[in-house]
Amino acid sequence: MSEAFCAGWSPESTTCQKTGHFACKGCLLVTYCGSTCQKSHWPQHKIDCKCPVGKTTWQPQWALQNRMPDFVRGGVGEQFGGRKYLWGNMPAYDVLKLVDNEGVAYDGPLTLLFAASGDLRNLFKTLAELPESYTGTVRVTLNDRDLDVVARNIIMLLIALVLEDAEEAIDCILHFWYSCLIRKSHYEAVQARIRPLIQDVCVKIKAKSPGSLQAKTWKLGKHSLRLVLTQSTWTRLLSYMDLPQGLDGSKATRIRQAVTQAESRVDYRDRHLLFFSPAHRVAKTRFWKDGLLLPFGASRDDFVVPNPTFFSNANGWPMFDNADPLSGWTLKEIEATSSGQATADLYGKLSKHIHNTLKSFLHRLYSLRAVELRFLHVDAVKLPELLGESERFDRIEVSNISDCGYVGPHQTVGLLAPLLQTHAMNPHATLITLFMNAVDENRNEQDEILEMSPDGPVMRTLIKYMPPTRRLASKNDPAMIKFISSKDYVASHDRYFDRFVEKFKLTEFGHVCGVTMKNKHTIIEKWPYILRLQPDQKGAQEEFDRLLRSSTSTKERYVEWKRIVA
């Protein structure tokens, strides 16, 4: 991935230098190698550069039409589109933090369990951030009950282990992961190098009963990948590498756009755009339209094949309309990633940031003694039974299955805490639970009223960040919508989570299970996305604005559990 693409490049060009040296001053989204390319590309680029959402005067449609927005009157549900979570909705983090726990000198084996893995962002980031001093063996078990998630993860890790060219592997993984369409070379690589591995197993187990568990381990260099799936699931796995009959790039794009650009959802999209700069609004609109995770000025011409992992059937787009690759990564790190002179190219920065993470991940694969990967496809509550009594892990990450709407805190801790390494074997062994809904579930109507009080601490603090610059026309004024939508970012949620802990007697229950909630977190902060600065401190406004641009809530609470010393 070059530092910057010349947006005017084309295969027919004879004068283009391909690398961009200066940006379009109107939007800072694209770069050019020289004035010749800029002039020739202007008829195409002006559509984006001069589009309405890129103007400082842009207003949501509900404001222009002087009406109540759909999300206020409840005319359209909050969720729209498919029900799959194929991209992370929380920023990736390193689940080991080896230097702060076992220590930089540690070189023994490490065992990790991602009990409800979702996508691979946490695995990639964890291995990418291992200190260079660590050269030991890492054993990873990844499980998810959604086959769409498991199949995509298997394909991407096989790409990483099988393709010899690192840049080709990175490009292929990135677009299988995030792009609606992929290059023909991506599709051909998977058909030629990955599909035969699965096909060979399917042939050998064809006579087995559909529900029987069948295992296969591939030795790939010094690493290994093991799949434990039912016979019928092995057969279904093949479908994630094949395209439905009659599906081409144009039809796939229309299927996706029916969700991401649905007219009935315009108010929801406009509400989201309220928090972004004009150029970032243009970038977001572009991604909603084409679904390709590329620098803004990069050519889309090669992306013609539907991504089969999104379209294993042609019935619709599998994710919600607000699913966004940005949600799985830390916005501060994304914005700090260089995109050359195209400093406003938000999705270009994201693609480069993920590219860098994957590059570091592959580097660590090459330098580690061995990485042993194992995939399972069961409900997380069945893991202890499937893994057996002898399995022990240095880290167990469970996403938010500990929320009450899923497995719940008692069952999650009760079933999975016994799988931690004993304190004698590793005093740093940790179970990490995420609670995304506990705050809302333990906040009542009286709390809401107090937070909305004009003289209360929440509103007084919010006004420091968002002082009124004019008289607001009505409750549907975009400025009012933006103000009210921001109140959760300055409120303290500790008391609500404390209610949750008391309600479920988590402290006492943890002791029954032989674990305790860590007072001081050593892997991820308890409230990782709250404001750290006071309103009058240097950088506070930038911190607040960045938080509004991210889709991360300040209500997410992590709990780290460790073994109690006997």
What is the 8-class DSSP label of residue 135? -
**Backbone dihedral angles phi then psi of residue 114, each to the nearest 5 degrees:** -100, 95
What pLDDT was estimated at residue 454?
87
Q: What is d(CA 551, CA 320) in angstroms, rounded to the nearest whole number?
A: 14
| Tokens standing for residue 155 | 């394909």
For residue 350, the one-letter residue type is L
Count of other CB atoms within 10 angstroms of residue 363:
15
Task: Specify the 3-state DSSP secondary structure of 448.
Answer: helix
Q: What is d(CA 411, CA 422) in angstroms, rounded to the nearest whole number?
A: 20
| Tokens standing for residue 307 | 């991504």
Q: Are 208 and 281 in contact (CB under 8 A)?
A: no
Tell the burial category of 101 from Cβ atoms under 10 Å away from its Cβ (0-12, 13-18, 19+).
middle
Pick from 132, 118, 540, 121: which is nearest to 330 by CA? 121
Q: Are 403 and 435 in contact (CB under 8 A)?
A: yes
Q: What is d(CA 127, CA 366) in angstroms, rounded to the nearest whole number?
A: 11
What is the 8-class DSSP label of residue 245? T
Q: Are 212 and 231 in contact (CB under 8 A)?
A: yes
What pLDDT was estimated at residue 113?
98
pLDDT in tens, 497-525: 999 999 999 999 999 999 999 999 999 99
Q: Does the predicted model carry a pTM greater than 0.75?
A: yes
What pLDDT was estimated at residue 115?
98
Handedness of CA 109, 113, 118, 122 (dihedral sign): negative
What pLDDT was estimated at residue 77?
53
Chain centroid offset of residue 364 CA = 21
What pLDDT was estimated at residue 356?
97
Residues of the chain predicted below pLDDT 70: 1-3, 74-77, 473, 566
pLDDT in tens, 315-359: 899 999 999 999 999 999 999 999 999 999 999 999 999 999 999
Q: Are 309 and 319 in contact (CB under 8 A)?
A: no
Instruction: Give the start-to-end residue ranges of the domains of the chain.
Output: 1-50, 55-378, 438-563
What pLDDT was estimated at residue 76?
47
Would you give the end-to-end CA distance of the chain in angstroms? 52
What pLDDT was estimated at residue 303?
97
Q: Are 176 and 152 in contact (CB under 8 A)?
A: yes
Q: What is d(CA 402, CA 242) in angstroms, rounded to the nearest whole number?
A: 35
The owner of tokens 């069952």 is 411
Pick from 521, 528, 525: which is nearest to 553 by CA? 528
